[in-house]
Amino acid sequence: MKNPTKKLLIRDIELGGNSPVRVQSMTNTDTRNIQTTINQINELQQAGCEIIRLAVPDTEAAHALSSIRKKTTAPLVADIHFDAKLALLSLEAGIDALRINPGNIGSSQKVNMVVDAAKEYHVPIRIGVNSGSVEKYLLKKYNGPTPQAMVESAFKHIDLLEKRNFEQIKISLKSSSVLTTINAYRLLAQKTDYPLHIGVTEAGTLIRGTVKSSIGLGILLYEGIGDTLRVSLTGQPKDEVLVAWEILRSLGLRQRGPEIISCPTCGRTEIDLVGLTREVEKHLQSVTEVFTVAVMGCVVNGPGEAKEADIGLAGGKGCGIVFRKGQVIKKIENQKEIIPEFLKELDSFIQERNKDYGPDQKPWLKDFKP
């Protein structure tokens, strides 16, 4: 059961409380390049990203936010380091949330200015503590960037906002160590009811980063910790979103798009099962409907092994069979026609499925209502 936390609103997306765990990512484009950034924002949204963070390294990037804001409805977060002026410019540009550590942006007067502006624009602030940004005195006190040091650092920043009667706060504590991340969030969740943004920072490339994020975030989510999440990968931001959804799906927390199950290759496999599965994944990338597709490598055992799948394909030497719920409905005799014929069957299945529901009755869309 999800930990009870305060609710926040980032544009039209509710998070915290009983809201679903929200999927977040970050553009890796140069924010000053407006069209390239917009293109990536659109790609992220199509993949299911609900909150998108942008780096704001200088005034040119901050000014670009105004044009970006006009070209997208996506909830946007400005990522600010050390410069209160950039935070103020981002708020004026219409940004929906700030990621900033109030203790790092200068004098008390500058903190006052940022907080006052955030209140005026009704914009939440995410306090982001990374293991590499913990203050030196805390590193000395705790003998390194321990979970205790990270939590104390977070509360130092929280205190600066609460003293100014600002409580529209979200918190993150990230480390490249999975165990440090888990223990830091567990400790923080015991001490506050502010919404938590979870992630394993600098997790690595696609395979390594997916494994680390799945273990770290999976454990936290299973324990009810986390209101938003980001899978941090060295690569394309779109991949972060796809992995995030699979983590949520695996835990039964949210669903988006079809689940594709495929058997491991073995000595009985007589088709290009890997290539076939990739073709199916590619074809279904933009589909949001929830159902199960099986791609199996054995025409004898495939339908039985995947009998719970809504629709599936089992390939054998020179042929393929299409099945629904374990029952064979079609045999494809020509090997060259296996992929195109199955993709047609998939499209037909989706069309039939859509006819069974009205526009407000599709169960796979319920998670997207704020």
- Total domains in the chain come to 2
Same domain membership, residue 221 and residue 137: yes
C-alpha 70/C-alpha 51 separation (Å) is 16
Same domain membership, residue 172 and residue 282: no
Inter-residue contact 234 to 205 (CB < 8 Å): yes
Can you read off the two tokens belonging to residue 107?
Answer: 């004098």
Other beta carbons within 10 angstroms of residue 248's beta carbon come to 24
DSSP-derived 3-state class of residue 125: strand
Low-confidence ranges of the chain (pLDDT < 50): 359-361, 363-370
Same domain membership, residue 209 and residue 114: yes
Closest by CA position to 303, among listed 287, 322, 284, 278: 322
The type of residue at 217 is: L
Residue burial 46-56, b: 16+ Cβ < 10 Å; e: rest: ebbbbbbbbbb
The type of residue at 4 is: P
Predicted pLDDT at 370: 33
pTM: 0.87
Same domain membership, residue 274 and residue 223: no
Predicted pLDDT at 338: 86
Give, for 173, the enclosing helix (H) or strand (E). strand 169-174
Same domain membership, residue 219 and residue 110: yes
Same domain membership, residue 244 and residue 141: yes
Same domain membership, residue 264 and residue 220: no
Q: Which of 250, 285, 310 is the last residue of a domain?
A: 250
Q: Which of 213, 228, 250 is the last residue of a domain?
A: 250
Predicted pLDDT at 365: 45
Please indicate, yes or no, if residue 36 is contained in any of the structural domains.
yes
Please indicate, yes or no, if residue 72 is contained in any of the structural domains.
yes
Please provide the size of the chain in residues: 370
Same domain membership, residue 293 and residue 202: no
Please indicate, yes or no, if residue 243 is contained in any of the structural domains.
yes
Inter-residue contact 175 to 201 (CB < 8 Å): yes
Please indicate, yes or no, if residue 343 is contained in any of the structural domains.
yes
Same domain membership, residue 239 and residue 291: no
Q: Which of 187, 217, 250 is the last residue of a domain?
A: 250
Q: Are strands 8-10 and 13-15 parallel, antiparallel or unpaired?
A: antiparallel
Predicted pLDDT at 358: 53
Domain of residue 233, residue span: 8-250
- Check which CATH number belongs to the domain holding 313 and give it: 3.30.413.10
